[in-house]
Structure 1
């Protein structure tokens, strides 16, 4: 039995030290996930903390069908999305990005020179675009999963994703 499974079992028995150990084990990774969804680092940290509280509160629902980290990551993403829904920044109106077609092709032809360049360009994207792009490219969620998490149509997610990629490429080609 791996360490996280043992810690989960101890958490189920009410062991606060095990909760702290799980927190130490996963907090950095979950903070990074949270920061990809919520751009403000303080808000991202608050959302991550809230997600850990939710996870420990619902630890009995963890069935081990996926890794604890994957289960926790889903809680973190959903908590961050809830946070953004309260702030109403999940989607960007199609009118906010003139010049981008509605074509939902995944073809994007650009080879960025550096990771830093991509990070800078990502930070310039509208929040809704950045969110969909991060959930799809970085976190690996499918369109249907993102649509469910965000409470929007799958076609909206797909077009947001394509528009986000195009906007990112445009920023990169223009050297941000």
Structure 2
């Protein structure tokens, strides 16, 4: 059986084929969406191995739940949501977050001048991977995925205040990383001048 290697297969045919258990269609679905979904997994994972585990779990869920896709919205959007939720579930099992007290929550809320505007998107994504899993997950859910602190709290089983403090700490750490990079670049510039 030769694999299907084109994107001219209609999504509806691809979905139907996968639901019916057609291995070639399942392989095509995997090849079509795995690169983008792996990128989603990497944003939440601590390393490439974790990202691979999440990717595998996500595709298992996709194939099991494919018949629940109703066609409301884009198919890729539905798949992406499954992967975000799978990443969050994986994160919750690892228990990376520590609750904070109300006093800590009130002192953490700070105002940060964003130096992130001076970096390219790929640089920012690379910096995000340097955050601890707890900070990285809350940052991704709030900034990238657009969840509210209440939603994040509900999904991760933490308080809204813990979500806010994790985001605040993530921003502070990112700001420090950016300042260090900019300072290093500035020093290189001045030392390289004739």
**What TM-score do the two structures reach when normalised by structure 1?**
0.80
> Offset of 1:31 from its aligned partner?
0.3
SS at match of 2:146: coil
Match for residue 107 of structure 2?
101
RMSD (Å), alpha carbons: 2.8
The ranges of structure 1 where at least 4 consecutive aligned residues each deviate by more than 4 angstroms after the TM superposition are 92-95, 114-117
In structure 2, the CA distance between the partners of 1:68 and 1:155, relative to structure 1 (3 Å rule), is farther
Partner of 1:167: 173
**8 A contact 1:11–1:18 mirrored in 2:** yes
Partner of 1:154: 160
Of the structure 1 ranges 28-37 and 130-139, higher mean CA displacement relative to structure 2 is found in: 130-139
Q: Structure 1: state its 5+ residue gaps.
A: none
Contact 2:44 2:140 in 1 (8 A): yes
> What is the CA distance between 1:131 and its match in structure 2?
1.2
Select the structure of larger CA radius of gyration: 2
- Pick the aligned partner of 1:10 from 14, 17, 35: 17
Q: What is the CA-CA distance between 1:78 and the residue it aligns to?
A: 2.1
Number of residue pairs matched by the alignment? 170
**Alignment gaps of 5+ in structure 2:** 1-8, 183-194
C-alpha deviation, 1:124, in angstroms:
2.8
Question: TM (normalized to structure 2)?
Answer: 0.73
Alpha-carbon distance in 1 for matches of 2:152, 2:77: 15
Q: How does 1:10-29 map to 2 (within 5 A)?
A: 10-29=17-36
SS at match of 2:71: coil
Counterparts of 2:22 and 2:150, CA distance in 1: 37
Q: Secondary structure at the match of 2:58?
A: helix
